[in-house]
Amino acid sequence: MDSKERLQNIIDSIRPVDKEAIEQCKKRWDKVAKPLGGLGEFEDYISRIAAINSDQAVNITHSNINKNEVDITKKAVAVFASDNGVVKRGVSQCDSSVTANIVRSLIAGTSSVCVMAKAAKADVFVTDVGVAEDIEGVSMEKMIRSTDDICEGPAMTEETTIAAILTGVDKVKELKEKGYRLIATGEAGIGNTTTTAAMAAVLLGKNAGELTGRGAGLDDEGYRKKIEAIELAIRVNKPDNDDPTDIIRCVGGTDIAAMTGVFLGAAAYRIPVIMDGAICAVAALCACRSNPLVREFIIPSHMSGEPVMKYICKELDIHPVIDAGLHLGEGTGAVLMMSLLDTAVAVLNEAAVFEEINVEQYRQFRQ
């Protein structure tokens, strides 16, 4: 079986989250001594996570959902790093050498996401899928040393694109086999807000000006160059609007390709995945375009400051609960969401319940 066929088989293998299992968890929520629906969207997220984690891929049972066993203590953050050839167009505040420095801080455990993950009791896994430099200590799945300049032609070949997507899929499989029950996505790569906006423009059928932000803080001249580069890249490459893999190949990056694989892998291997900001969101959109059932496995985290984010969230019909102007990247918003989910699970597992109390006498309080 070649890589293209393997990828299609993974996409085709995805099936829905068991709705009855979700309802079982919601019934548990309704027994907790609190107003009905008191934790809002967190009750829905935890119910979905519980259903996914109870699903053993062949025979779905609801036994653990009926007990206090919703467990997301073992958490992982999968960060993918790569460089982007379009950076030479002046679309970023700094050059590609900064990507390698970010990866070194990730490996050292001193980056923001590593510090936050430690507080959230999550493990960080960093994979190089296209950094120009070689960095000691990083998981090496490097297909290329930076993508090509998307203003001159495709970012990469179809072969490289599919290999990067499958790297993300395989990372999910590896983490699932190690016992992780919740995964977050993250990325590192100078220039990837440009590739994100370019991909979103094609996926959503909108112009670059609507979707493009200033990234890490571009001045007016840099912002103009960024929009012009995106518009030129789309004209030069003419990606197929109906083919997510072709869109990644033409105007994306290996980091986005790998994260697309994480979302596909999460759905195929039945594990909930937290979506970080705009760059992760465009990968999630690609995965959902490949198979709409992927959406059921995605837990949104925060509303990125990048303009493209609100359009992708509307397209996916998802609502990130954190809206704090975050623009740190690396998966940091997703890690914040992990802490919030831990808190919500604690309420479900440990709070007092109305198990042996006449619920009717508390109806006014609970509603």
Q: Which residue among the candidates 5, 330, 355, 356 is catalytic per the annotation?
A: 330
**Rounded CA gap, 257 and 246, in Å?**
11
Whether 159 is a known active-site residue: answer: no
3-state helix, strand, coil in the chain (%, to 5): 55, 10, 35
**Residue 280 backbone dihedrals phi, psi, to 5 degrees:** -65, -35
| 286 within 8 A of 203, measured Cβ to Cβ | yes
Q: Work out the number of other CB atoms within 10 angstroms of the CB of residue 237.
A: 21
For residue 272, give every residue at least 6 positions away whose Cβ sits within 8 Å of its Cβ, in sequence order, or none.
48, 49, 52, 53, 72, 181, 182, 183, 266, 297, 299
* Residue 172, token pair as written in the block: 């999910």
**Rounded CA gap, 193 and 282, in Å?**
10
Q: Give the residue numbers marked as catalytic.
A: 330
